[in-house]
Structure 1
Amino acid sequence: MTATETARNRAVFGCFHDATNSGDLDVIEKTIDEVVAPDVVFHAPVPMETTGAQALKQVWTVLLRAFPDLRVTAEDVLADGDKIVCRNTVTGTHRGEFRGMPATGKPVSYSEIFILRFAGGRVAEIWGVVDVLTQLRQLGALAA
């Protein structure tokens, strides 16, 4: 992987990250269509009935319905070869149904780490680890 390809991957990641913080599902879905391979392999701790880019769009639909003010702050972004690793802090307010729970109005702040593998300038594979335990505790679904 050349320095130019790594820089291109960082730029693609930045574009995707900016879209996710727009709060606009149309912008996010359009960006997914532009920068994510249609058959992306998506490994994450969420049940999915779809695969590929459609699964990623479904994740954002669920998240924005539940947390319309969702913000993802990239704390660390590391690029090596065809991969980018990002450690994020996610914040938002629970304003809609999430994991079977009605809106609570409670704020959440939790951590996640994602690894994105790029091929041909597009995201080809995603691994994610999300601190769902902290998220559910903050929403009152689990005892502290």
Structure 2
Amino acid sequence: MPIITTAEHNKETLRRFHAAVSSGDEEIISRTIDEIVHPDVQVGTPLPLEVTGTAAMKEVLAVLRRAFPDLRIQIEDVIAEGDRVVTRNTVTGTHRGEYMGIPPTGRSITYKEVIIARFTDGRVAETWAVVDVMSQMRQLGVFKGPNA
């Protein structure tokens, strides 16, 4: 039986997180967060949040899922080093709810993101996200340019 390294375990944990988000099932998403994310997780997001820890992570995802109920994350690359795992993703969804003050447009969008997660004791303890918001805004018609 092959030995699973900490890095491989952490990579699989982050894959599991992305799969849960892509499932569209709020119960699966919530349960997965409770299982694999540290209760006091530090969530690096530009969204103003009134909550912290796993509640903050659930709120960020709830905002995205309300705006893009068919949100899907396709992992392009997974890289692990030490206690960190990075995924480079392509995200798709249809704009069906308010997002960053923009009323629903019904437009399908595709954008890139990079997620960095730091692990402690096998659980996500901190996250940072770099999201191509400019591409989102162009595709939603806020800015002129490619995909507008």
Q: TM-score range by the shorter chain?
A: over 0.9
- What's 1:92 paired with? 93
Matched residues, number: 143
- What's 2:61 paired with? 60
**1:97 positional shift:** 1.2
User: 1:109-124, aligned counterparts within 5 Å?
Assistant: 109-124=110-125
Contact between 2:109 and 2:136, CA under 8 Å: does it hold in 1? Answer: yes
**1:45 positional shift:** 2.7
RMSD: 1.4
Alpha-carbon distance in structure 1 between the residues aligned to 2:46 and 2:132: 10
Alpha-carbon distance in structure 1 between the residues aligned to 2:88 and 2:15: 14
Q: For 1:109-128, what per-residue CA distance to the aligned partner results, in whole angstroms no more than 9, with x for missing partners?
A: 11110110000010001011
Secondary structure of 1:109 counterpart: strand
1:26 aligns with 2:27: yes
Structure 2 unmatched runs, 5+: none
Alpha-carbon distance in structure 1 between the residues aligned to 2:131 and 2:86: 13
Which aligned segments of 4 or more residues in structure 1 are displaced greater than 3 angstroms? Answer: none
- What's 2:15 paired with? 14
Whichever residue aligns with residue 50 of structure 1, its letter is V
Contact between 2:88 and 2:115, CA under 8 Å: does it hold in 1? Answer: yes
Alpha-carbon distance in structure 2 between the residues aligned to 1:15 and 1:71: 13
Whichever residue aligns with residue 10 of structure 2, its letter is N
Secondary structure of 1:63 counterpart: helix
Whichever residue aligns with residue 17 of structure 1, its letter is H
Contact between 1:96 and 1:102, CA under 8 Å: does it hold in 2? Answer: yes
Q: For 1:49-91, what per-residue CA distance to the aligned partner results, in whole angstroms no more than 9, with x for missing partners?
A: 2211111100111111111111111111001111101111111
Alpha-carbon distance in structure 1 between the residues aligned to 2:49 and 2:88: 23
Alpha-carbon distance in structure 2 between the residues aligned to 1:84 and 1:17: 13
Mean Cα deviation higher: 65-74 or 45-54 = 45-54
Q: For 1:30-55, what per-residue CA distance to the aligned partner results, in whole angstroms no more than 9, with x for missing partners?
A: 11011001111111232222211111
- What's 1:138 paired with? 139
**1:29 positional shift:** 1.0
Contact between 1:45 and 1:128, CA under 8 Å: does it hold in 2? Answer: no
**Percentage identity across aligned positions?**
53
Secondary structure of 1:21 counterpart: helix
